[in-house]
């Protein structure tokens, strides 16, 4: 019996068990693309790349960031202790620790988000929409590793219900769902996502002498396994003297680029072995993911390029102004710090919330780049500018497209 026959045999009745049938349909259409397609006659093209397949491509592009992000969580944790400070020391321990922190974030985000989508789809009597596949992968990558899971659950529920389902579901939302979840946490529970202490996991307070906090999973499950196989295990320790969990952005606000390079080398910032959001630190892996999205035609190169141009031009203007330490950071080094590349590749290019016209994409991207750099550089109350800049541009994307279309209509009417 083939897999397709098994699926058909276990399919629940749609009328008797609408929620179970909706859940079944979500799994079935994940495994198989629909067999109902637009007619191959005429101008229509038959293509196996349906929406689920597109979303899966984005998740694949994030795969390297998940692995590196998990490893870097463990790496930063041990640096705080002064143990295994070499990047390739205690590889297994660092990866295990990172996965213990990252997997719960991923599971909670997807259980809450997909659970709401399944219930909503069952109530409406249609198939589960695929949009949350990407949001569920992005949300854990833009959160601190020690974020309380209940706060994450509330943020995801808010983003999905208020930001998506209230507007009609996938394809109808105005704002990027992942960023909406992050902005909810930022304004509702700011101490859990802002400051120097939240980016290094495993410590209630990141101060000299503060004790490591290992939970039940490590002390009662993982440590016995490691000891049984004769491997090094997790041992209680304290924060090393003189350690700071400050991010490069925080240091730049205080003393400019010189303050940053006293703590981190450009190589560390480029490769990603620094504190920060889980998915934002490794620039090479983000660029590889962006290239994958461009090659597969999922993301728009116009948005990526225009956002970069907008950020560069505004950074140069702020360099010329030089009214604060952050403004004096040379424009090219602005890209070593923070989440510009991640925001450009995976947030700004969201096809639902971005501008749809080609000209509009240029305006949209330049707007994000310029405004994000202004927020990051001038307002120290915000640790990064791209979240607010993208949500601002999301709001005006329909208006941008409207005026672009009106300009084209007016131009064509003049020719007529």
pLDDT in tens, 241-284: 888 888 999 999 989 999 999 999 999 999 999 999 999 999 99
Of 165, 185, 205, the residue at which a domain comes to its end is 185
What is the C-alpha end-to-end distance of the chain, expressed in Å? 63
Q: Does 398 lie in the same domain as 287?
A: yes
For residue 330 the two structure tokens come to: 């040379």
pLDDT at residue 44, as a whole number: 47
- Average pLDDT on 201-211 reads 89
Residue 43's pLDDT band, with cuts at 50, 70 and 90, is very low
Looking at per-residue confidence, does 128 or 263 come out higher?
A: 263
Any domain includes 147: yes
Distance CA 155, CA 139 (A): 10
- Average pLDDT on 135-152 reads 95
Local structure of 90: helix, strand or coil: coil
pLDDT at residue 49, as a whole number: 54
Q: Does 302 lie in the same domain as 159?
A: no
Q: What percent of the chain shows pLDDT beyond 90?
A: 68
Q: Does 117 lie in the same domain as 16?
A: yes
Any domain includes 169: yes
Q: Does 152 lie in the same domain as 29?
A: yes
User: How big is the CA angle at 91 (ends 89 and 92), to the nearest 5 degrees?
Assistant: 140
pTM over 0.85? The answer is yes
Of 143, 160, 185, the residue at which a domain comes to its end is 185
How many CB atoms neighbour CB 185 within 10 A?
Answer: 25
Distance CA 367, CA 361 (A): 10
Q: What percent of the chain shows pLDDT beyond 70?
A: 86
Any domain includes 333: yes
Determine if residue 180 is left, alpha or beta; phi over 0 gives left, psi from -120 to 50 gives alpha, anything else beta: alpha
Looking at per-residue confidence, does 37 or 179 come out higher?
A: 179
Of 132, 157, 185, the residue at which a domain comes to its end is 185
Percentages helix, strand, coil for the chain (3-state, rounded to 5) are: 65, 0, 35
Residue corresponding to tokens 């109902």: 36
Structural domains in the chain (count): 2
Distance CA 307, CA 181 (A): 22
Q: Which residues contact 42 (CB under 8 A, 6 or more apart)?
A: none
Distance CA 328, CA 333 (A): 10
Residue 21's pLDDT band, with cuts at 50, 70 and 90, is low
What letters, b where the CB count within 10 A reaches 16 and e where it falls short, cover 282-312? Answer: bbebbeebbebbbeeebbbebbbbbbbebbb
- Average pLDDT on 301-305 reads 97
Q: Does 282 lie in the same domain as 150?
A: no
Measured in degrees and rounded to the nearest 5, phi and psi for residue 245 equal -95, 15
Any domain includes 312: yes
- Average pLDDT on 3-15 reads 64
Any domain includes 220: no
Any domain includes 387: yes
Distance CA 319, CA 329 (A): 7
Any domain includes 260: no
For residue 27 the two structure tokens come to: 């799994």
Nearest Cα residue to 144 out of 90, 231, 203, 225:
203
Is the pLDDT score of 395 beyond 90? yes
As a whole number, the mean pLDDT across the chain is 88
Distance CA 20, CA 22 (A): 5
Looking at per-residue confidence, does 27 or 75 come out higher?
A: 75
Is the pLDDT score of 402 beyond 80? yes
**Is the separation of the CB atoms in 310 and 369 below 8 Å?**
yes
pLDDT at residue 37, as a whole number: 56
- Average pLDDT on 376-398 reads 90
Range of the domain at 140: 9-33+51-185
């Amino acid at each position: 019996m083939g897999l397709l026959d098994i699926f058909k045999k276990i399919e629940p009745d749609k009328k008797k068990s609408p929620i179970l049938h909706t859940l079944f349909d979500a799994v079935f259409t994940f495994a198989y693309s629909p067999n109902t397609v637009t007619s191959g006659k005429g101008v229509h093209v038959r293509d196996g790349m349906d929406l689920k397949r597109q979303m899966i491509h984005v998740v694949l592009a994030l795969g390297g960031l998940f692995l590196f992000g998990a490893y870097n969580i463990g790496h930063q944790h041990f640096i705080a202790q002064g143990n295994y400070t070499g990047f390739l020391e205690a590889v297994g321990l660092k990866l295990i620790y990172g996965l213990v922190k990252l997997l719960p974030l991923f599971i909670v985000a997807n259980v809450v988000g997909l659970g709401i989508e399944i219930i909503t789809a069952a109530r409406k009597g249609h198939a589960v929409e695929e949009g949350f596949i990407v949001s569920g992968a992005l949300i854990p990558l833009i959160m601190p590793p020690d974020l309380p899971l209940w706060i994450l659950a509330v943020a995801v529920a808010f983003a999905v219900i208020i930001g998506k389902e209230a507007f009609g579901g996938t394809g109808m939302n105005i704002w990027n769902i992942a960023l909406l979840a992050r902005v909810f946490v930022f304004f509702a529970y700011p101490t859990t996502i802002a400051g120097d202490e939240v980016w290094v996991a495993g410590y209630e307070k990141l101060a000299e002498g503060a004790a490591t906090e290992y939970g039940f999973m490590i002390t009662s499950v993982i440590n016995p396994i490691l000891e049984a196989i004769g491997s090094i295990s997790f041992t209680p320790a304290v924060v090393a003297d003189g350690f700071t969990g400050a991010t490069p952005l925080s240091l730049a606000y205080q003393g400019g680029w010189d303050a940053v390079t006293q703590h981190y080398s450009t190589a560390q910032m480029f490769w990603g072995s620094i504190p920060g959001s889980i998915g934002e630190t490794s620039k090479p892996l983000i660029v590889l993911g962006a290239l994958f999205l461009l090659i597969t035609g999922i993301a728009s190169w116009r948005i990526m390029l225009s956002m970069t141009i907008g950020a560069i031009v505004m950074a140069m203007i702020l360099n010329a102004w030089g009214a604060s330490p952050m403004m004096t950071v040379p424009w090219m080094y602005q890209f070593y710090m923070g989440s510009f590349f991640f925001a450009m590749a995976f947030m700004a290019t969201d096809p639902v919330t971005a501008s749809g016209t080609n000209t509009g994409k240029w305006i949209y991207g330049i707007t994000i780049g310029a405004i994000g750099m202004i927020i990051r550089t001038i307002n120290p109350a915000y640790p990064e500018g791209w979240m607010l800049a993208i949500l601002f541009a999301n709001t005006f994307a329909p208006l941008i497209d409207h005026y672009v279309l009106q300009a084209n209509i007016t131009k064509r009417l003049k020719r007529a």
